[in-house]
Structure 1
Amino acid sequence: MTKDVEVAEATGAEFSAKDYSDPPPAALIDLEELTKWSLYRAVIAEFIATLLFLYITVATVIGYKHQSDDTLGNPDAACSGVGILGIAWAFGGMIFILVYCTAGISGGHINPAVTFGLFLARKVSLIRAVLYMIAQCLGAICGVGLVKGFQSAYYVRYGGGANELNADYNKGTGLAAEIIGTFVLVYTVFSATDPKRNARDSHVPVLAPLPIGFAVFMVHLATIPITGTGINPARSFGAAVIYNKDKAWDDQWMFWVGPFIGAAIAAMYHQYILRAGAIKALGSFRSNA
């Protein structure tokens, strides 16, 4: 297999034949997409996937808080429930499962920040990105609504699974945690779905959901004590809508601004540094000159 030389000389910008092909960039606005069932099928898949994601994960959070509530007379409350490790596994495991199930239909975004990063990299059109984000937010609201309906006795008492900044941290720290956490996630998404790796390592497409799920798992371990871990604006928004308390809404901006900044940085880092997009563009400009 021929090795791909991205840039042979820094000055000459010569390229050798590649053993893989990058898909063409998506159109910024593709009105023809609106006439295709594949788009609406993908939007439905994103809605259902995000609904299931929020239902399982928020139910896990509330269940853990109920089991570990020492005011209920349980002497072993501190050791009861799944713990933070179990919550992190619930989030990471569900992402692994749902990305595996929906990757061939919608790409398995399940997160507006992921969709935003892929849009910046021209992997999806603006129309598809907007419809995905709407579907993800609606799915999140419905998923948390199911949790409230099934666990109405505990839902409000245990915080509704809403993301809020811990009182021990300031807003700058919370924002930085969301930026870095989302960067880790979106960077993993780009790396796991890179067509260059798919061409050379046949196992990569099959295993792509696994590192993405692990990225979610690891980020939750690090940031649950700080913000409860957002890194997914739909997750934070859906929980805030159903819980509807002031603290959740006061901190809501952090769970949109942070993930979108982190996703943008990850997209630029992967496209323009790791994939040498900036150098390629410069080489093309010099060749034309």
Structure 2
Amino acid sequence: MQVMRRDYRRALSRCNCLTAVMVAFKGIWTKCFWRAVSGEFLATLVFVLFGLGSTLNWSAGETASPPPADLVLISLCFGLSIATMAQCFGHISGGHINPAVTAAMLVTRKISLAKALFYVLAQCLGAVVGAGLLYLVTPAAVTGAGLGVTTVNPKISVGHALVVELVITFQLVFTIFATCDSKRTDLGGSASLAIGLSVTIGHLFAIPFTGASMNPARSLGPALVTLNFGDHW
């Protein structure tokens, strides 16, 4: 009798686990779900392609000491790319385009676990494809000088770099939650533009420190394509 009860409890436990998984992943076979996941993939692909493209140094190899990439150019390109993609895909997927944003949405229970997992996978895959496309269409002499891989300034420690990344990523997520709060009645203007500007100021501040990642997928893409994981943490 005790053996039967033990087997029954085990079977019930497995059933409860299966039910929990089914509840967490319900709705993943709907057209709307995969439309949203595809939107995250495409938005991240375009964002990474354009953003990394602005970091390329086309003077590499032509002079003894090529000039550094323009800080304002890079910051504006990343910021405007995010603003544009958020405006285009916001009504489809929410326009996360960033695993950090998706994680914040999951923690605050604004999206399901299943959607968060598939969003992060789509974002990372989109970033790798975007970086790969840029690598394919760019001359080797230019990509050899870097493909926008985020690196820590040797003048600062890894701990300081981590603090910088936490601060700029926090201000981005904070801006998103503040501008997309349905309870606010004082909002005006474009939420997408505000989010894009938060990315811009984050880059203006942090590029000299860490290259301004703010986005795990954005850092993963070029690191995987170039196999440069020196400061990829």
Partner residue of 2:75?
Answer: 88
Q: Which residue of 1 aligns with 2:36?
A: 42
TM-score, normalised to structure 2, is 0.85
Name the % identity: 36
Q: d(CA) in 2 for partners of 1:86 and 1:147?
A: 17
Which residue of structure 2 lines up, in the alignment, with residue 195 of structure 1?
Answer: 182
> Structure 1 pair 201/142, CA: closer, same or farther in 2 (3 Å)?
same
- Structure 1's unaligned 5+ residue stretches are 1-27, 254-289
3-state SS of 2:27 partner: helix
Matched, 1:138 2:148: no
Q: Tell me, in whole angstroms, the C-alpha distance in 1 between the residues paired with 2:63 and 2:177.
A: 48
Q: Distance in 2 between the 1:232 and 1:154 partners? A: 27
Matched ranges for 1:171-210 at <5 A: 171-197=158-184, 200-201=185-186, 203=188, 207-210=190-193
Q: CA deviation at 1:151?
A: 0.4
1:163 and 1:66 map into 2 onto residues whose CA distance is: 18
Match of 1:72 in 2: 62
- Structure 1 residue aligned with 2:106: 119
Q: Unaligned 5+ residue runs, structure 2?
A: 1-21
Look up the equivalent residue of 1:42 and give its one-letter code.
A
Match status 1:239 vs 2:222: yes
**Shift in Å at residue 191 of structure 1?**
0.2
Shift of 1:58: 0.8
Q: TM-score, normalising length from structure 1?
A: 0.69
Q: Which amino acid aligns with 1:209?
A: S
Of the candidates 201, 207, 221, which is equivalent to residue 218 of structure 1?
A: 201
1:203 Cα deviation from its structure 2 partner: 3.4
Alpha-carbon deviations, 1:44-63, whole Å to 9, x = none?
0000010101111111101x
SS in 2 for 1:165: coil
Measure the CA separation in 1 of the matches of 2:124 and 2:153: 24
Partner deviation per Cα, 1:56-79 (whole Å, 9 max, x = no partner):
1111101xx224x4x52499x64x
Q: What is the alpha-carbon distance in structure 1 between the residues aligned to residue 199 and residue 166 of structure 2?
A: 13
2:55 paired residue number = 61
CA apart distance, 1:152: 3.4
Task: Give a deviation string over 1:17-69, Cα, whole Å, max 9, x none.
Answer: xxxxxxxxxxx95432213111100000000010101111111101xx224x4
Coordinate RMSD, CA, aligned? 2.0
Which stretches of structure 1, 4 residues or longer, exceed 6 Å deviation after superposition? Answer: none
Structure 2 partner of 1:250: 230
Q: Which residue of 2 aligns with 1:285?
A: none
> 3-state DSSP class of the match of 1:122?
coil
Task: Supply the distance in 2 between the matched residues of 1:123 and 1:250 (Cα, whole angstroms).
Answer: 34
Contact 1:29 1:126 in 2 (8 A): no
Which amino acid letter does the alignment assign opposite residue 159 of structure 1? G
Which letter maps to 1:203?
Answer: G
What is the aligned length?
212
2:26 to 24, 32, 37: 32
The 5-angstrom pairing of residues 139-158 of structure 1 reads: 139-158=126-145
